[in-house]
């Protein structure tokens, strides 16, 4: 039962990350973006997210989990880059 709940949670979180990745890949920004800027892009592409905080949480967890394609630039405000440096 615990494993099932953990798997479901991880699958939902992975789905959120994939939605962010998909939009950023399509938008192909020239520079790292803040969570708020990413949220605005998501909305422009018809993807709903609760808040910029949720976007930051999803990206931060991916980076902390060892996702090599997520770069967190710890500045004020934090900025995020995905992929091979193009996003």
What pLDDT is attached to residue 85?
Answer: 42
**Residue 82 in this model has a pLDDT that exceeds 50:** yes
What pLDDT is attached to residue 65?
Answer: 85
- Global pTM reads 0.79
Domain spans of the chain, in order of start: 2-81
CATH 3.90.1150.10 matches 2-81: no
**Residue 75 in this model has a pLDDT that exceeds 50:** yes
Cα gap 9→57, rounded to integer Å:
14
19-28 tens-digit pLDDT: 999 999 999 9
31-71 tens-digit pLDDT: 999 999 999 999 999 999 999 999 999 999 999 887 668 99
Phi–psi pair at 51, nearest 5 degrees:
-170, 170
Cα gap 66→70, rounded to integer Å:
8
């Amino acid at each position: 039962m615990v494993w099932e709940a953990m798997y479901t949670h991880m699958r939902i979180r992975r789905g959120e990350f994939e939605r962010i990745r998909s939009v950023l890949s399509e938008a192909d920004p020239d520079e790292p973006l803040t969570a708020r800027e990413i949220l605005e892009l998501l909305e422009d592409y018809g993807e709903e997210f609760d808040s910029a905080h949720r976007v930051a949480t999803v990206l931060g967890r991916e980076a902390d989990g060892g996702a090599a394609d997520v770069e967190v630039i710890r500045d004020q405000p934090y900025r995020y880059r995905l992929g091979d440096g193009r996003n």
